[in-house]
Amino acid sequence: MAPDLRQDFNMMEQRKRVSMILQSPAFCDELESLIQDQMKKGKTPTSLLALQQIADFMTTSVPTMYPAAPQGGMAALNMCLGMVTPVNDLRGSDSIAYEKGEKLLRCKLAAFYRLADLFGWSQLIYNHLTVRLNSEQERFLIVPFGLLYSEVTASSLVKINLQGEIVDRGSTNLGVNQAGFTLHSAIYAARPDVKCIVHIHTPAGAAVSAMKCGLLPISPEALSLGEVAYHDYHGILVDEEENVLIQKDLGPKSKVLILRNHGLVSVGETIEEAFYYIHNLVTACEIQVRTLASAGGPDNLIMLDPGKYKSRPRCLELVGDGAGSWLAPRHRGRTHTHSRGFGCVCRFTTFNLANMAFFFLSSVLGG
């Protein structure tokens, strides 16, 4: 064999061995363990920064070891190809520029966009998930118009006030979708209790929004939503006059708003609560569409009476360690239940998006 060919062959073998090590689950677990240990020793030690660079390389270049969910969006495709952008990309001066509370909300909202895409709730660059930063300044975070859900990161989110003035453009030079701003700003202005808003278009959701009967009480998911509000279609949401109509239709208490012939909206006092309601709303719509198709019409369906069923978090916790029988249900507040639900889907997603969990570590341990 010629010397040049032998040298090339040896280099290929070396790269193959290195690639096998980098793709090894054991190596990834060991790297994650080292990062957590280093974070406990200090805020941003040099060793942690070096390890973080390696972790970023791993999450963006190493093919996934697990299959993507079949209903996933662009993020699922990207994971199959090994192209995953870290959720928490706040590094160096970007991290220092934001207070800890805002950093956490940025990371949480960016993670929510990834989850929504994996659930198949995204529609190219349209629809929006937003979170209010605080009630004093009336500012909220929104995705820049032009990014897919799978591309959203903590640093890319745009900070805007209720007057439509961009306070912080984030890491992109993109603007904000006018229709998205109109809907979200109208709700935030009228509902000080709302901290997070979700607006999506799913096929089943759009189908139910076009039904005269609206959302039918035929499933536990439908009953869990409470009073469902409706807003008639008047075209793209860009007129200020429609702000008043949206505020009136949503009312002071509803957590769910169905936009007729359009899509779905959920609101919550936290990101977790908004996720809880939109997940149940999407599920209820899918159940209704499938049930109507198989039953031949609403007359053949069994309607549940919402008045007979007390709305409560669909969560029973097993009790032990002296707290009573393990069969006895312990009911906790809605916030705890919603956090548990949102947390479990984040844990599931970390099989393919390991860096989604890193923002919890960096926010809590790294400041």
Closest by Cα among 268, 292, 266, 271 to 202: 266
pTM assigned to the model: 0.67
Other beta carbons less than 10 A from residue 351's beta carbon: 14
Using CA atoms, how far apart are residues 199 and 256, in angstroms rounded to an integer? 10
275-284 pLDDT tens trace: 999 999 999 9
Using CA atoms, how far apart are residues 21 and 340, in angstroms rounded to an integer? 35
CA distances from 130 to 45, 162, 194, 267, 301 (A): 33, 12, 11, 10, 36
Task: Please state the separation of Cα 274 from the chain's center in Å.
Answer: 10
| pLDDT for 306 | 81
Which one has a higher pLDDT value, 147 or 50? Answer: 147
| pLDDT for 357 | 46
Using CA atoms, how far apart are residues 242 and 100, in angstroms rounded to an integer? 36
Task: Compute the CA torsion angle 130, 159, 193, 358 (nearest 10 deg).
Answer: 60
Contact 282, 264 (CB under 8 A): yes
Helix (H, G, I), strand (E, B) or coil at 193: coil
Residue 140, phi then psi, degrees to nearest 5: -140, 160
Q: What is the mean pLDDT of residues 144-172?
A: 87
Which letter does DSSP use for residue 356 in this model?
G
Contact 356, 342 (CB under 8 A): no
Residue found by looking up tokens 């360690």 in the block: 321
Other beta carbons less than 10 A from residue 79's beta carbon: 23
Q: What is the mean pLDDT of residues 98-123?
A: 86
CA distances from 10 to 1, 14, 20 (A): 12, 6, 15
Residue found by looking up tokens 């198989």 in the block: 294
Using CA atoms, how far apart are residues 354 and 357, in angstroms rounded to an integer? 6
Using CA atoms, how far apart are residues 346 and 305, in angstroms rounded to an integer? 34
Residue 25, phi then psi, degrees to nearest 5: -60, -35
Which letter does DSSP use for residue 214 in this model?
-
Contact 75, 110 (CB under 8 A): no
| pLDDT for 324 | 37
Helix (H, G, I), strand (E, B) or coil at 43: coil
Using CA atoms, how far apart are residues 180 and 183, in angstroms rounded to an integer? 6
Q: Is the pLDDT of residue 68 over 50?
A: no
95-108 pLDDT tens trace: 677 888 888 888 89
The partner residues of 168 in beta bridges, in order of sequence, read 159
Neighbouring residues of 320: CB distance < 8 A, sequence distance ≥ 6: 326
What pLDDT band is residue 235 in, cutting at 50, 70 and 90? Answer: confident
In the chain, % of residues over pLDDT 90: 29
Q: What is the largest CA-CA distance in the chain?
A: 84
255-267 pLDDT tens trace: 999 999 999 999 9
Contact 161, 97 (CB under 8 A): no
Using CA atoms, how far apart are residues 353 and 224, in angstroms rounded to an integer? 30
Contact 97, 110 (CB under 8 A): no
Contact 198, 278 (CB under 8 A): yes
* Domains observed in the chain: 93-308 (3.40.225.10)
296-346 pLDDT tens trace: 788 888 888 887 876 555 444 444 444 333 233 334 455 555 555 666 655
Q: Which of 2-16, 104-118, 185-199, 342-356 has the lowest mean pLDDT?
A: 342-356
Which letter does DSSP use for residue 141 in this model?
E
Q: What is the mean pLDDT of residues 148-170?
A: 87
